[in-house]
Amino acid sequence: MAKDIYLIRHGETDYNRQGRVQGQGIDASINALGQLQAQAFFDTYMDVPFDLVVTSGLRRTHQTVEPFRKLDIPFYATKDINEISWGRYEGMAYGDEVSTAYQQMIREWGLGNYNYAIDGGESARALADRIERFLHWLTALEEETILICSHGRTLRCMLTLIHQRPLHEMEAYHHHNTGLYRFAWERGVYHTLLENDISHLEPILES
């Protein structure tokens, strides 16, 4: 069954604004700007006949799509699209220590060592395994028009899988808070309709 998939990143949190590592161990709320972003997305896409809204298990994704949930659209939360675990670096400000660990991880992944993880964190392979499980579940659903809200690194990994690219190429994907990717899926093939579209944020950016 063909599907129309809307995929967005959550709204801004204070951790985003302050340049601090989040990950799946930090269950942060969206901040005032994040609420504006979420409302702007809703105002633009409220008339799309979504059959299902899917989020991660973390509150920042729930809060971002809360306006749609108030329309009584069926809702499902799954930890399979939680943010990657950044281990002991979660909650830390980006600085030399975090940067060194991050760059080492990127080098290892670039060499194809997808089982490498930073201290206490999650590997690219482990992340990809749960996202592959999610995509298999998603494409088997009867629902056709689906809104998904997830996280930055998770989306990067998901996009490499959708485009059938090596996992180390996830670094090529950059997305704004509430940036929208839209895909038409049919017979196992994803067709890209939008990439990190933020046209819904124009009223905020202009203010």
pLDDT in tens, the chain (207 residues): 899 999 999 999 999 999 999 999 999 999 999 999 999 999 999 999 999 999 999 999 999 999 999 999 999 999 999 999 999 999 999 888 999 999 999 999 999 999 999 999 999 999 999 999 999 999 999 999 999 999 999 999 999 999 999 999 999 999 999 999 999 999 999 999 999 999 999 988 876
Nearest Cα neighbor of 102 from 91, 120, 89, 111 is 89
Specify the pLDDT at position 130: 98
Specify the pLDDT at position 207: 64
Alpha-carbon separation of residue 202 from 37, 115, 159, 179, 181 (angstroms): 10, 40, 25, 12, 17
Q: 181 with 8: CB under 8 angstroms?
A: yes
Residue 134 lies in a domain: no
Specify the pLDDT at position 55: 99
Domain range holding 22? 3-123+140-206
Specify the pLDDT at position 197: 98
Residue 96 lies in a domain: yes
Residue 128 lies in a domain: no
Domain CATH code at residue 159: 3.40.50.1240
Count how many residues are written for the chain: 207
Specify the pLDDT at position 18: 95
Specify the pLDDT at position 95: 87
Task: State CA 141 to chain mean position distance.
Answer: 20
Nearest Cα neighbor of 76 from 108, 53, 59 is 53
Residue 99 lies in a domain: yes
